[in-house]
Chains A and B, each alone.
Chain A
Amino acid sequence: MKKLLMTAAVAAVALGLGSTASLAEAYKACWIYVGPVGDGGWSFQHDEGRKAVVAELGDKVETVFVENVAEPDSDRTIERLARDGCKIIFTTSFGFMEPTLKVAAKFPDVKFEHATGYKTAPNVTTYNSKFHEGRYVIGQIAAKMSKTGTAGYIVSFPIPEVIAGINAFMLGAQTVNPDFKVKIIWANTWFDPGKEADAAKVLLSQGADILVQHTDSTAPLQIAQEQGKFGFGQASDMMAFAPKAQLTAIVDSWGPYYIKRVKAGMDGTWTSQQSWDGMAEGAVTMAPYANMPDDVAKMAAETQAAIAAGTLHPFTGPITKQDGTVVGESGKPLSDGEIHGMNWYVKGVDDKLPQ
C-alpha cells in the first residue's frame, strides 16, 4: 500500500511538471535533452539540474524542456525555443554544437549554453564538468578493494571524455597498486540495460571483481550486487539499485551551474565563457562512500578533498602513455586542451583505441 501511494505521488509530480507557471515577467530558461528524461542517466541529471533552478528561483523563472531531440535536426528545435521567448537555452549534448552556433547567430539577444563542446561565440558559452576527477578517486578505491587486482570497465563510445575517464581511473589505481589491470568492453551504446548487464557478467567471468561503467543504466551495478562484487554508480547515486555493491558514485550535479548562469542571465552579468567545473565548484560530487573499510573511505575522502582544494590534479606529469612515450612536465598538470582532446591510453590499459 505504501508503495502504491508512493507511485501515485511520483506520478502526480510527473504530471505536475507540465504546468509551469507562465507569469509575464518570469525569466524563461530552456533545455534540450538528447535522450528521454527517463534515461535515468545523462538527460535525467540535466533535468534534475533544471528542477534545482526551479526550486531555487521559484516563480521568477519559467522553465521549458524538450526531450529526445535527435542531433541531426536539432537546429529547428533550438530555433523554436529561441522564437518562443526563451532567454537562455541549454543544449546538453555534443552533437548540438553546430546547430547551437547556427541558431545563436540568428538570435544575438538570446544566451546559449552548450554542454561538452569547444566552440564559443559572443552569446554562446560552453560548459562541462571534470568527471575525470571522480574517476581518479574511484580508481584508488578500486585498487584497494579488488582482490584480483583487475577491474572491468564498461564504456560507451571512444570520445575524449570517456578516454580521459579511463586514464584518470588507471592513474588513481596505480597510486595504490602499480600493477593494477583493467579490462575494457565497448558496449557501443549509452544505455541498453541488457547489453550492459551482459558486458558486466562477461567482465566478472574474466577475472574482474570490480565494475566501473561509463554507460548510463544501473544494470552493471545490479549484476555486481547479484554476484557479491562491487561497482560504482554513474551520473547519479544508484545506491537504491545496489545497496550492497555500490562503493560510491560519480554524480553529475548540474544544479549549481544552472542556477549560477540563469541568475547571471537575469541580472545582466552573463558573459560568454568556457566553463569546466569540477569538484571544487560542486559540479562533480561523490555519493556517500559505502561498503568499504574505514581506511579506504578515509583515503577516498582525502583524495576528494585534495582535488577539490586544487592541491591534487589527476593528470600531473610526467605521465607514461601506453606506447611508452611520456607527456607532461614533472609536477605540472596537463593543460585543459590536452585533456579535452585526449586520444591515448596511459600505460597499463589493456586495450587499443581506434585511430
Chain B
Amino acid sequence: MDQSLAVMLTIITAATPLLIAAIGELVVERSGVLNLGVEGMMVMGAVAGFAVAFMTGSTLLGVGAAIFAGIAMSALFGFLTLTLVANQVAAGLALTLLGLGLSGLIGEAFVGQPGVKMPTLFGIDALVPFSLLLTAGVAYVLFRTKTGLVIRAVGNSHSSAHALGYRVIAIRYLSVMFGGACAGLAGGYLSLAYTPQWIENMTAGRGWIALALVVFASWRPLRTLVGAYLFGAVSILGFVVQSMGLGIPSQFLSSLPYIVTIIALVIISGNKRLTQANTPACLAQSFVPDR
C-alpha cells in the first residue's frame, strides 16, 4: 500500500510540469497559434527561476522569474509570428534553439550550486494542486465564459472573428503570452521543485512531450490532465518493472512512453468525432487584417 502510494506520488510529480506546459500550449493553439518553442521557453524558465531563487533565497521570487522569462520568450515569438507573420513552425523551432543556447549562457555561473527547494506538504509541493486548479480554470474559462468563446472563435475562424470586431492579433498575443507563462512555470518547477539545481538542457525534451499531449488531448483541458498522468505513469512504471529485474531491455521500456504517445495520437486523431469538433480550424495560419 505504502509502495503504490509512493509510486503514485512519483507519477504525479513527473506529470505536473508536462501538465502545466501543455495547458498553456492548449490555450495558445485554441487561439489558432502553434508555438513549437515550448522547450525553449521551459528551459529559460528553469534557468531564470533557479537564478533568482538562488540569489534571493526565495522560491516565490524564483517562480515569478520563471514565469516572466517564459512570457518574454513568448512575446518574442508573438512579435515574429503575429506582427511579422513569419512561419509559426520555423519561429517555434528558432525559439527552442535560442532558449537552449541562451539558458546555457546564463546558467554557466550556476552549475554545481545547490538550489532552493520549494516547501512541500506530504511530499507534494504547492504547484501540484495549482496545476489541477489551472486545468480546471482553463477548462472553465475556455468553455463557460465569453473570453473563452472569443479565444476559440479567433482560433476557428480569424476572419469572422475580425469581422465581428474582435482584435484577433491582440487576443492571440495574450494567448501566446499565457502559454509562455505556463511553459516558464513548468520549467521553474523542474529547477525549483522537481530537482532543485541547474544543469544545461535540463528540460530534456519535456517541452515536446507537452506539445504532443495537447494533440493527444484533442485540445480539451481535462483530457490533457489524463494524458499527462498517463505519460507519467508509463515512464515511471517502466522503472518499476526494471527494478524487479525481469531482464526486459531497458531501451524498450524507455521507448514505451513515446510509442504509447504515438498509439494514443493515432487512436484519438483517427476518431473524427473527437478531433474535428475540437481542432482549431485556423491552427498555425497567419492572419493579416485587411484594412
Contact = CB atoms under 8 A, between A and B. Distances in A.
A touching B, CB within 8 angstroms: yes
Contacts of A203: 239, 243
A205 B3 contact: yes
Interface string A80-93: 00000000000000
A114 to B, nearest CB: 24
Interface in A178-232: 183-186, 188-189, 191-199, 201-207, 217-219, 222, 226
A185 B242 contact: yes
B243 A217 contact: no
Interface stretch (B60-68, B83-91, B105-113): B105-113
5 contacts: A186-B254, A194-B17, A198-B235, A201-B7, A218-B114
Interface in A67-113: none
A196 B199 CA distance: 13
B190 interface: yes
B240 A198 contact: no
A11 B245 contact: no
Contact of B236 (A39, A202, A240): A202
A201 B243 contact: no
The interface size bin for chain B is 35 or more
B247 to A, nearest CB: 3
A201 B245 contact: no
Contacts of A198: 10, 14, 235-236, 239
B109 A14 contact: yes
Interface string A23-52: 000000000000011111000100000000
A7 B54 contact: yes
A352 B247 contact: yes
A193 B197 contact: yes
Interface in A2-16: 3-4, 7, 10-11, 14
Interface residues of A, number: 47
B111 A38 contact: yes
Contacts of B246: 352
Interface in B170-222: 190, 194-197, 199-202, 204, 206
Given A38-B111, A194-B195, A241-B114, A186 B104 contact: no
A205 B242 contact: no
A152 interface: yes
B109 A184 contact: no
Contacts of B104: 36, 38
B57 interface: yes
Nearest to A219: B195
Interface string B72-115: 00000000000000000000000000000000100111111110
Contact of A7 (B55, B123, B236, B243): B55
Interface of A: 3-4, 7, 10-11, 14, 36-40, 44, 152, 183-186, 188-189, 191-199, 201-207, 217-219, 222, 226, 236, 240-241, 350-352, 354
Contacts of B13: 201
Contacts of B7: 201-202, 205
B251 interface: yes
B202 A193 contact: yes
| Most B Cβ at <10 Å: residue of A40, A44, A203 | A40
B9 interface: yes
Nearest to B8: A205
A145 B113 CA distance: 28
A352 B245 contact: yes
B249 interface: yes
A249 to B, nearest CB: 13
Of the listed residues B14, B108, B117, B123, the one surrounded by the most CB atoms of chain A closer than 10 A to its CB is B108
* Most chain B CB inside 10 Å of its own CB: which residue of A4, A202, A226, A352: A202
Contacts of A236: 112
B136 interface: no
Contacts of B262: none
A201 B108 contact: no
A37 B111 contact: yes
B250 interface: yes
A188 B2 CA distance: 28
A202 B199 contact: no
Contacts of B204: 189, 192, 194-195
B23 to A, nearest CB: 19
Given A7-B54, A184-B243, A217-B195, A40 B111 contact: yes
A122 B7 CA distance: 54
A44 B235 contact: no
A4 B123 CA distance: 30
Contact of A39 (B110, B199, B245): B199
Contact of A11 (B17, B109, B254): B109
Contacts of A184: 242-243, 245
B55 to A, nearest CB: 5
Interface in B6-27: 6-7, 9-10, 13-14, 17
A44 B108 CA distance: 12
B219 to A, nearest CB: 26
A218 B14 CA distance: 17
A39 B204 CA distance: 13
A202 B10 contact: yes
Contacts of B123: 226
Given A3-B54, A186-B250, A222-B197, A202 B240 contact: yes
Contacts of B251: 188
Contacts of A186: 242, 250, 254
Nearest to A3: B55
B262 to A, nearest CB: 19
Given A3-B55, A194-B14, A222-B197, 12 more contacts: A7-B55, A7-B109, A39-B111, A40-B197, A152-B243, A194-B190, A198-B10, A198-B235, A202-B239, A222-B117, A350-B245, A352-B246
A40 B112 contact: yes
